[in-house]
Amino acid sequence: MKYIVTINGKNYEVKVEKGQATIVKTTETAEKAYVSQTVSASAQPAVSSQPAAATSVVSGDGEPIKSPMPGVILDVRVSAGATVKKGDILFILEAMKMENEIAAPENGVITAVSIAKGTSVSTGDVLALLKT
């Protein structure tokens, strides 16, 4: 079976046979296709068009602290209920092999944390809520 999978805005034609997936070719003009069947979990992880953080719903009071870029969360230095000052480091985000510090934009209290260490995030994903 062949599928066209879009990852970070780039389309890949993927061929799946007997639990193995290989990239056949990369194309910028390929039509978007959605995988309607999933490969057995024992053979290969399921392909998803959404990162893990994007599927979680954050509820609570406060302004969202969003990821400024796509990457992987290396460290979570805050938890719900923590009081933070403007400039305190809340998260360490690895993007393009660089560690980026995500700091508190204002003084306040963290009312919710929506991600964990090792989570892949996209630009704009909500990491936490801050009540000022």
Residue bearing the bigger pLDDT, 44 or 105: 105
61 and 24 both lie in a single domain: no
CB 124 within 8 A of CB 130: no
- How many domains does the chain divide into? 2
pLDDT for residue 114 is more than 90? yes
80 and 111 both lie in a single domain: yes
Q: Has residue 60 been placed in a domain?
A: yes
By residue range, what is the domain housing residue 110? 52-131
Tokens of 24: 């056949």
What is the C-alpha radius of gyration for the chain, rounded to an integer number of angstroms? Answer: 18
pLDDT the model gives residue 15: 72
Residue with tokens 């805005």: 9
56 and 121 both lie in a single domain: yes
Output the pTM of the full model. Answer: 0.56
